[in-house]
């Protein structure tokens, strides 16, 4: 029996495994990199051990360091979570060699499904339907080009190892293939340590359906229903739900049979997910993830099961707790992934400090899986997932309603997130109608990513009220520390010598600067807003930013989070970001000169496409920056000549760092 469990992961999945382990009475051991020394999973575990520097290859991907930590802590089992070493056969073998139980499938099953190319060949032998494509070992670009031509464009280039959308590119025409192959290889090597690629027919408007399977060492294998993961961005899942909307019982039975056949073909044990791409007429095997999935909570929600507990019991040698006929599904569940990323800037990752983290209070049908707290940092080295929000209801409509409210009640300040984007998806009529496919986001992009709107009168009033209340509190505290606390210069009432008691509060709202004039009126204020309207405002501001406000007698509660000059207002499900403008402070210097190209995000330079003196045309790729396992290519904004290149491959860059100089073409 397992007594002491080491979790070889971080973030929300580490915290999620810790919950089940504690409930089962297991002692827990966390491991952490230098970047995660103060992380939540470290604080919540019974024991925590360091395993190396921030880069994953030196810590969470370092097999020797993880095994050494397990031995040092006396752990008799390791749960790898997902990502990192979860699908690494060599790690599973290292655990066995050390006498430690690996909570996952046998190494042979991991290897069989770890290579998409080899897995496709195996599935073909097992009679599982496949998408037309090339899965061969010859990676010569000419061979891949010939295969793509034979398949017919558009094609999908993707990494043979790994998943999560890394190393994947859609190629619409032959002229795009070479660049797509280079980018996919680089990304695959960086994310999975394996540059091998495969080429498949790209299906338009397909659905992504996956089946949760479980198997034990006694020959039993069952499914726990399917999940629909069709809403994706850059081949990464954004929304997942169970069961799949509109799936007939006949199609469900067919997909389940294919999934179980796939698991049996590799002698599978434990939790696994078999992924399919489906059209109206057919479905095809994509891959098998030999681990727990990010979206497993929706399966838990409809079945009432704890999949981590099942993993632990099966690793101990137990039989499956239920037979297939005993597994039932009730209601509907939907999960969204909350990321530190900026949708307005093409979803660039946003590493940084989380000044405020607020999630809905526990309520019926709502679950939050997270690994962060206020004050934590989203490191640049790892996936920018902040949390998963899961809502369950008796039917899909009630699950949508609960998820909509949960998103409205979520507050993240300090980094930009995709919260508004997720709310737009969940609130879209096409989503409510179940019109799901992998092109959903691209098709509805304008509605899901509207141009940023001004903060509006109400948000400006709340921000100004909070600012004035904070200044009043600071003045009172400062006065209490002086020798003459009753001096008129220490008053917090807006008193002025020979002047009316008013103050102009300047705000930066997007690209505009707006002014709110505040007149001091006893304990409250009279605010004149940029549109000329006036209102009476008063309230109480708590230290955590919770504002109980009255605007012209209408009372409401909001949260106003301040970090330096940056102010975020959360109210009524909306989020507005403003910045204090100080007219006495010298304006920050802008770009020093035209022609300087800067890093769009902090990260590492993964490719330099040009050299000093090279002439380039508008749109030519110049330099590639990688952060959080995603690449961003900086391109030439106009024709020009490269005057200087300031960084090399492997260099770390901060957001805004000058990457290179592009001089105007003669």
Q: Summarize pLDDT for 128-137 with one digit per residue, the tens.
A: 999 888 988 8
Residue 165 to residues 159, 169, 443, 550, Cα–Cα distance (Å): 9, 9, 19, 48
pLDDT at 586 exceeding the cut of 50: no
Pairing of strands 502-509, 512-521: antiparallel
In degrees to the nearest 10, what's the CA dihedral of 226, 230, 231, 235? Answer: 110
Mean pLDDT highest for which of 272-276, 378-382, 608-612, 617-621? Answer: 272-276
Top pLDDT among 627 and 90 is at: 90
The token pair at 496 is 């002025």
pLDDT one-digit tens code per residue, 26-55: 999 999 999 999 999 999 999 999 999 999
Mean pLDDT of 364-389: 95
Q: How confident is the model at residue 521 (pLDDT cuts 50, 70, 90)?
A: confident
How many CB atoms within 10 Å of residue 355? 19
Pairing of strands 385-393, 332-339: antiparallel
pLDDT at 193 exceeding the cut of 80: yes
Strands (DSSP E) found in 73-216: 77-79, 101-102, 133-134, 155-159, 168-171, 197-201, 207-215
The token pair at 299 is 């399966």
So what's the pLDDT on residue 499? 44
Q: How confident is the model at residue 587 (pLDDT cuts 50, 70, 90)?
A: very low
Contact between 419 and 575 (Cβ < 8 Å): yes
The token pair at 389 is 């929000």
How far is the C-alpha of 334 from the C-alpha of 599, rounded, in Å? 36
How far is the C-alpha of 566 from the C-alpha of 402, rounded, in Å? 31
SS3 109: helix
| Domains of the chain by start residue, with CATH | 4-103 (3.40.50.20), 132-201 (3.30.1490.20), 204-330 (3.30.470.20), 335-451 (3.30.470.20), 457-580 (3.30.700.30), 596-664 (2.40.50.100)
So what's the pLDDT on residue 162? 67
SS3 401: helix
Within 8 A by CB and 6+ apart from 192, the residues are 159, 161, 162, 166, 167
How far is the C-alpha of 52 from the C-alpha of 577, rounded, in Å? 37
Q: How confident is the model at residue 577 (pLDDT cuts 50, 70, 90)?
A: very high
So what's the pLDDT on residue 5? 98
Residue 156 to residues 150, 236, 313, 575, Cα–Cα distance (Å): 13, 14, 39, 37
Q: How confident is the model at residue 600 (pLDDT cuts 50, 70, 90)?
A: confident
C-alpha 425: how far from chain center = 15
On the CB side of 529, CA atoms within 13 Å amount to: 17
pLDDT at 625 exceeding the cut of 90: no
DSSP for residue 248: -
Mean pLDDT of 456-476: 92
Contact between 209 and 255 (Cβ < 8 Å): yes
pLDDT one-digit tens code per residue, 522-543: 889 999 999 999 999 999 999 9
pLDDT at 483 exceeding the cut of 70: no
Within 8 A by CB and 6+ apart from 38, the residues are 376, 377
So what's the pLDDT on residue 493? 52
pLDDT at 482 exceeding the cut of 70: no
pLDDT at 593 exceeding the cut of 50: no
Out of 76-90, 95-109, 354-368, 633-647, least confident range: 633-647
pLDDT one-digit tens code per residue, 294-346: 999 999 999 999 999 999 999 999 999 999 999 999 999 999 999 999 999 88
Return the percentage of the chain with pLDDT > 90, whole number: 73
Return the percentage of the chain with pLDDT > 70, whole number: 94
Q: What's the per-residue H, E or C state across 253-307?
A: HHHHHHHHHHHHHCCCCEEEEEEEEECCCCEEEEEEECCCCCCHHHHHHHHCCCH
pLDDT at 476 exceeding the cut of 90: no
pLDDT one-digit tens code per residue, 381-436: 999 999 999 999 999 999 999 999 999 999 999 999 999 999 999 999 999 999 99
Top pLDDT among 391 and 632 is at: 391
Q: What's the per-residue H, E or C state across 599-664?
A: CCCCEEEEEECCCCCCEECCCCEEEEEEECCEEEEEECCCCEEEEEECCCCCCEECCCCEEEEEEE
Is 291 part of the annotated catalytic residue set? Answer: yes
Top pLDDT among 591 and 60 is at: 60
Mean pLDDT of the chain: 91
Question: Where does residue 223 fall: left (phi above 0), alpha (psi -120 to 50 degrees), or beta otherwise?
Answer: beta
Closest CA to 262 of 123, 162, 129, 135: 123
Closest CA to 85 of 175, 196, 188, 8: 8
111, 169, 291, 467: which is the annotated catalytic residue? Answer: 291
């Amino acid at each position: 029996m397992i007594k002491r469990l080491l979790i070889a992961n971080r973030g929300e999945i580490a915290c999620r495994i810790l919950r089940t382990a504690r409930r089962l009475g297991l002692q827990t051991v966390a491991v952490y990199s230098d970047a995660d020394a103060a992380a939540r999973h470290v604080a919540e575990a019974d024991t925590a051990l360091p395993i190396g520097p921030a880069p994953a290859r030196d810590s969470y991907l370092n097999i020797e360091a993880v095994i050494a930590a397990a031995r040092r802590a006396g752990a008799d089992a390791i749960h790898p979570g997902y990502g990192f070493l979860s699908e690494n056969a060599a790690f599973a073998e290292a655990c066995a060699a050390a006498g430690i139980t690996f909570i996952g499938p046998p190494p042979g099953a991991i290897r069989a499904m770890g290579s998409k190319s080899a897995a496709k060949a195996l599935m073909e032998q097992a009679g599982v339907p496949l998408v037309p494509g090339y899965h061969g070992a010859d990676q010569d670009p000419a061979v891949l080009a010939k295969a793509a031509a034979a398949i017919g464009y558009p094609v999908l280039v993707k990494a043979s190892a790994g998943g999560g959308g890394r190393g994947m590119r859609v190629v619409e025409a032959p002229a795009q293939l070479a660049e797509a192959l280079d980018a996919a290889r680089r990304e695959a090597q960086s994310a999975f340590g394996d540059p091998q690629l495969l080429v498949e027919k790209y299906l338009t408007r397909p659905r992504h359906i996956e089946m949760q399977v479980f198997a034990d060492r006694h020959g039993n294998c069952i499914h726990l229903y399917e999940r629909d993961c069709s809403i994706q961005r850059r081949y990464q899942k954004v929304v997942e739900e169970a069961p799949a909307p509109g799936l007939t019982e006949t199609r469900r039975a067919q997909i389940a049979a294919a999934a179980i056949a796939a698991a049996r073909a590799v002698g599978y044990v434990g939790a696994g997910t078999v992924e399919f791409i489906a059209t109206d007429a057919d479905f095809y095997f994509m891959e098998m993830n030999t681990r727990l999935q990010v979206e497993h909570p929706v399966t838990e929600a409809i079945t009432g099961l704890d999949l981590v507990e099942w993993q632990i019991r099966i690793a101990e040698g137990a039989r499956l707790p239920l037979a297939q006929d005993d597994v039932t599904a009730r209601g509907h569940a939907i999960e969204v992934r909350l990321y530190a990323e900026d949708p307005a800037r093409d979803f660039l990752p946003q590493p940084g400090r989380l000044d405020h983290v607020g999630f809905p209070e526990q309520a019926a049908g709502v679950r939050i899986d997270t690994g962060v707290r206020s004050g934590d940092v989203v490191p640049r080295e790892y996936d920018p997932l902040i949390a998963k929000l899961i809502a369950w209801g008796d039917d899909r409509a009630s699950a949508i309603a609960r998820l909509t409210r949960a998103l409205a009640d979520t507050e993240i300040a300090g980094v930009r997130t995709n919260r508004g984007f997720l709310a737009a998806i969940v609130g879209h009529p096409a989503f409510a109608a179940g019109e799901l496919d992998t092109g959903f986001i691209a098709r509805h992009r304008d509605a899901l990513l509207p141009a940023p709107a001004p903060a509006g009168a109400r948000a400006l009033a709340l921000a100004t009220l909070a600012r004035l209340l904070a200044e009043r509190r600071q003045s009172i505290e400062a006065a209490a520390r002086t020798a003459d606390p009753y001096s008129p210069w220490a008053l917090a009432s807006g008193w002025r010598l020979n002047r009316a008691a008013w103050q102009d509060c300047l705000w930066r709202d997007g690209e505009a600067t707006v002014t709110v004039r505040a007149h001091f009126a006893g304990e409250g204020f009279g605010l004149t807003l940029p549109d000329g309207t006036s209102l009476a405002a008063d309230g109480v501001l708590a230290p955590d930013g919770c504002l109980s406000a009255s605007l012209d007698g209408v009372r409401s509660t909001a949260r106003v989070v301040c970090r330096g000059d940056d102010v975020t207002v959360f109210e009524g499900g909306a989020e507005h970001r403003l910045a204090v403008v100080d007219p006495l402070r010298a304006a920050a210097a802008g770009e020093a000169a035209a022609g300087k190209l800067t890093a769009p995000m902090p990260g590492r330079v993964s490719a330099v496409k040009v050299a000093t003196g090279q002439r380039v045309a508008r749109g030519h790729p110049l330099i590639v920056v990688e952060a959080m396992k995603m690449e961003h290519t900086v391109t030439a904004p106009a024709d020009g000549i490269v005057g200087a290149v300031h960084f090399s491959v492997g260099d770390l860059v901060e957001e805004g760092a000058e990457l290179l100089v592009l001089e105007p073409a003669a």
